[in-house]
Copies of this chain bind each other. A is one copy, B any other.
């Protein structure tokens, strides 16, 4: 069930094949001079994958407005189809991460099969206790897992346990818990009691995890709470993960930190203590802007991957990070942004793989600062696009996914098929 015509992809790939071959060969020769095998790198690129969030294919917005695009997905079935396009063309997004209650259906086995037809599996399940749902008995206005009152905490725990059950049926093995709980005023809540409430509630969720599941805890500096946030930084996240147990790990969203923060060092620290859950990739300039990965500070993205490849290379203990995109597409076609982002992330991963880690360690040991820095820079400025393209084509994807997507007229077709609906649940996060 391929959303885009494979014939179209093939003919477009054919048209660009000669130029790609020339660039690939030239890069191969250059890399060979640097002691690197381009084919190994292409294999590495083919093995790479990052999850796409189901809500990401809808148009996002701000507190001021949301400007929907044409042909928006109306439900999880439309979303799967859109995610199928991304996977078909890029071949590097083999799972989707669902969100409940947004993606609720009556038959999850059927949903799992539906996804499989697009070549998609299910990644971590996301719960939602930052919004009130129709018919919900208690409001999350003043918090959920960290609410001052026990009944609201219990309701939020219950929802997370339900998400685990759904995830079990979908083949997921992780629950991602992000809560907006916090305060807007000094004194609104006791900061310690609020965290104790959170830890107690989170322990009940943790207790409900199947044996092979992990619990991903996501920290964020602020928003929706503007004075304090319960899990505001990796320090609080770490305490939570330590308190809960070995199945609890800390998720890093690139836009959830204070200005000027060295995020790659936080990644290194979490790897070191065996608590890195994985990532929500996006980019940001100001706050949790949820912009496309690599669009603001691509060198930072590279430096994060430099830590990840370093951990992989040295065989860091318990190192199995989960990778997911988490963006809000307010002014672009979400499918295009997600394809572009998936490719930018793969680019950073591959560039980080070019570093000669033995030589780097030697320069570091000798305090040859400039040489060490330039080794990273040499990897970063290498344009690995030909490798990424080769990997896509070998896997059946498109040489240029965005060009192919536009050529296929997918959005126009969906605009006709999917009449606009008011109050869609997609794209808000």
Collect the chain B residues with CB atoms within 8 Å of residue A67's CB.
132, 139-141
A284 in contact (CB, < 8 A): yes
Asked whether A226 lies within 8 Å of B291 as measured between CB atoms, the reply is: yes
Q: Which of A45-53, A76-84, A108-116, A293-301 contacts B (4 or more CB under 8 A)?
A: A293-301
| Number of residues from A at the complex interface, CB < 8 A | 116
Within the complex, which residue of B63, B236, B340, B376 is in contact with A187, where a contact is CB–CB below 8 Å?
B376
Given known A-B contacts A63-B428, A226-B286, A367 and B330 have beta carbons under 8 A apart: no
Kindly state the separation between the CA atoms of A61 and B224 in the bound complex, as whole angstroms.
Answer: 8
Asked whether A190 lies within 8 Å of B149 as measured between CB atoms, the reply is: no
Given known A-B contacts A295-B185, A373-B186, A260 and B258 have beta carbons under 8 A apart: yes
A117 in contact (CB, < 8 A): no
A372 in contact (CB, < 8 A): yes
Q: Which of A6-32 contact B (CB under 8 A)?
A: 19, 22-23, 26, 29-30
Asked whether A185 lies within 8 Å of B330 as measured between CB atoms, the reply is: no
Asked whether B224 lies within 8 Å of A64 as measured between CB atoms, the reply is: yes
Collect the chain B residues with CB atoms within 8 Å of residue A429's CB.
64
A413 in contact (CB, < 8 A): no
Kindly state the separation between the CA atoms of A423 and B227 in the bound complex, as whole angstroms.
Answer: 27
Within the complex, which residue of B185, B291, B306 is in contact with A184, where a contact is CB–CB below 8 Å?
B291
Asked whether B148 lies within 8 Å of A364 as measured between CB atoms, the reply is: yes
Collect the chain B residues with CB atoms within 8 Å of residue A63's CB.
60-63, 328, 428
Collect the chain B residues with CB atoms within 8 Å of residue A233's CB.
233-235, 261, 266
Kindly state the separation between the CA atoms of A142 and B130 in the bound complex, as whole angstroms.
Answer: 29
Collect the chain B residues with CB atoms within 8 Å of residue A292's CB.
185, 373
Collect the chain B residues with CB atoms within 8 Å of residue A369's CB.
142, 183-185, 188, 331-332
A394 in contact (CB, < 8 A): no
Q: Which of A254-293 contact B (CB under 8 A)?
A: 257-262, 264-266, 268-269, 271-273, 284-287, 289-292
Q: Which of A93-101, A153-161, A168-176, A378-386 contacts B (4 or more CB under 8 A)?
A: A378-386
Given known A-B contacts A67-B140, A224-B62, A383-B383, A376 and B186 have beta carbons under 8 A apart: yes
Within the complex, which residue of B139, B258, B295 is in contact with A258, where a contact is CB–CB below 8 Å?
B258
A103 in contact (CB, < 8 A): no
Nearest chain B CB to A177 CB, angstrom units: 15
Task: Other than A188-B364, A222-B286, A233-B233, give 11 A-B pairs with Cβ distance below 8 A.
Answer: A22-B30, A62-B224, A64-B429, A148-B364, A187-B360, A187-B375, A193-B364, A228-B265, A238-B239, A340-B370, A340-B374
Q: Which 10 residue pairs spanning A and B have beta carbons closest together?
A: A258-B258, A26-B26, A67-B141, A235-B235, A226-B289, A185-B373, A187-B376, A259-B259, A62-B224, A191-B268
